[in-house]
A and B are shown apart, each in its own frame.
Chain A
Amino acid sequence: MSEETSEIKLTVNGDLITKTVNVRQHLVDFLRLELGLTGSHLGCEHGICGACSVWVDGLVVRGCLMLAVQADGGDVTTIEGLTETGEIADLQKNFVDRNALQCGFCTPGMLMTLAELLRKSELSSREEIREHISGNYCRCTGYHAIVDAVETTIRDRLGDS
C-alpha cells in the first residue's frame, strides 16, 4: 500500500498552519518532526505514560493517540504555546522551587495536564491533585514534590496561605 497523504489546516499555538501529512502520522510526531516543537515528548506511544499530553480545542489529550490528520480544522496548544501565554508561569516557578522535576521528561505533559486542573480555580485536595495526574508517569520525583508545587500554586492563586 502506498503512503496516503492529506492536506491539513490547523492552528498551533495561535499560528495558522497548512501542511501535507501522512495520514498515519500521529499528532506529536507531526508537532516534533514537521514543526520542530520538541517540547511534547514521546514515551510509550500507546497512551500510558502521558509525556505527549497536548491540548486540542482547549482540552488535554494524548498526542500519540490522535492522528495529525484528525487535528485538521482544530486548535492545538503545546507546552511552547502555553508557556508563552504566561498562564502557568507561577506553576512552572513552583516546579523549579520545589524540585518537582529531575530529568524533566514528563514535565511538559505534567504541566499541560495540570493547567486543566488550575483552570477550575478551586481548592483541590492532595488526593484530587494526585488523581488528576494519575495518567502521567514521573520516574524521578515520587510525585510528592509535584503535588507540593501544585498545591502551592492553587493556594497562592486563591490568596489562601
Chain B
Amino acid sequence: MKAPKFSYTRGESLDQVLTLLNEYGEEGRILAGGQSLMPTLNMRLSNPKILIDINHLSELNSISINDDIVSIGALSRHSEVGRSPIVERHLPLIADAIPHVAHIAVRNRGTFGGSVALADPAAELPACVLALGGTLVVQSVRGIRKIIADDYFLGLYETERKPDELLIEVQIPVQDPTALSAFVELSQRKGDYAIAGLAFVGTVENQLIKTAKLVYFGSETKPTLAKNTMAVLTNTPWNDKTRELIVETLGQDLDPMTNLQGSAKMKLHLQKVLTNRAIDLALKREKPSR
C-alpha cells in the first residue's frame, strides 16, 4: 500500500527539530532510519501530521568512549555499530547482538537510537541496553534529561520518553573485561522478528556463577529482567540441579504473550531452552584461570 498524506521537514539543526517536536507533540513523528516507521506508514497503521527527518543531524552520528562510558549517538546505523572497534572491544554483548538485528539492507539504514526509542518488544538492542545498565539521554526545548534503562521501558511500545523529547544518545558502561556475556535468539529466518531471546551478562569464577543478569525479549511486552532466576544463579554452580531450579523461577519471572511468532506456552519453553544455551555459551567463554 501507499503511505497516507503527511507533511515533511528535513531537520537542519537540533534546535529546529526540538522546536517542531514541541509544536506538534504526538502528531509529529521523528524519521530516523525509518525501518519501523515506514512500514507502518505504507500499511497505514499510523497517520502522523508531520515527519521530522533527523538524518542530516550529523552530530547525532558518532560512537565514542570517555571515562569507561561508551556513547552511541542515536543516529548511528546498526551496520556502523557492528563495525565499530569501540563496540567490539568494550561492548561485546552488543557486537554479538547486531547480526541478529534484521538484514543487511535494514542494518545499513536503521539506527541504534530508533530501535531503543521505539522499544519494539522483539528488538534486540533495548534488551542489551537494559542488561548493560545503559542510560538514555533525551532532549527537548525544556532541556536535557537522563533516564536509566531500568526506568525507560514501561510496557508495549510504552516508554518514559515524552512526545516532545528526542533521544540523542545512549550511554553504556564498558563491559568489565572479566565479565562474560552471551546473546541468543530464535527467529524463523536469521534477522526476522525474534520468537524468543535473551541477553546474559555475568561473572564466573572457576565455572561457578558469581553474578548473573538476564534480560528477556521477544516473549514479553518489554525487555524483562528475570529477578528470581538471577537470584537463584548468584554464587551457584551450573549443574543439573540449577538447571531444574531455573525452570521453576523462569515461570515466575516471565509472562509471555501470544502473537504471530508463537503461543505463550511455546515461548516460555523456548526461553528456558535459550537460558541453558546462553549460560553454557558464557561458561565456555571463561578463560582458564592461571
Contact = CB atoms under 8 A, between A and B. Distances in A.
Interface of A: 1-4, 6, 23-26, 29, 45-47, 50, 53, 59-62, 64-67, 69-70, 72, 113, 116, 131-132, 134-136
Given A26-B38, A46-B43, A60-B104, A134 B109 contact: no
A47 B41 CA distance: 12
Contact of A47 (B2, B3, B8, B38): B38
Contacts of B7: 1, 4, 23
Interface residues of B, number: 33
B109 A61 contact: yes
Interface of B: 1-8, 10, 31, 34-35, 38-39, 41-43, 49, 51, 53, 55, 79, 99, 102-106, 108-109, 189-191
B39 A65 contact: yes
Contact of A4 (B8, B10, B189, B191): B8
8 contacts: A23-B7, A26-B3, A26-B38, A29-B2, A53-B105, A65-B34, A135-B105, A135-B106
A40 to B, nearest CB: 12
Nearest to A137: B189
B5 A132 contact: no
A6 to B, nearest CB: 7
Contacts of A23: 6-8, 51
B34 A72 contact: no
A69 B103 CA distance: 24
A45 B1 contact: yes
Given A53-B105, A113-B105, A135-B105, A46 B8 contact: no
Nearest to B4: A24
Contacts of B105: 50, 53, 60-62, 113, 135
Given A4-B7, A23-B8, A60-B104, A66 B190 contact: no
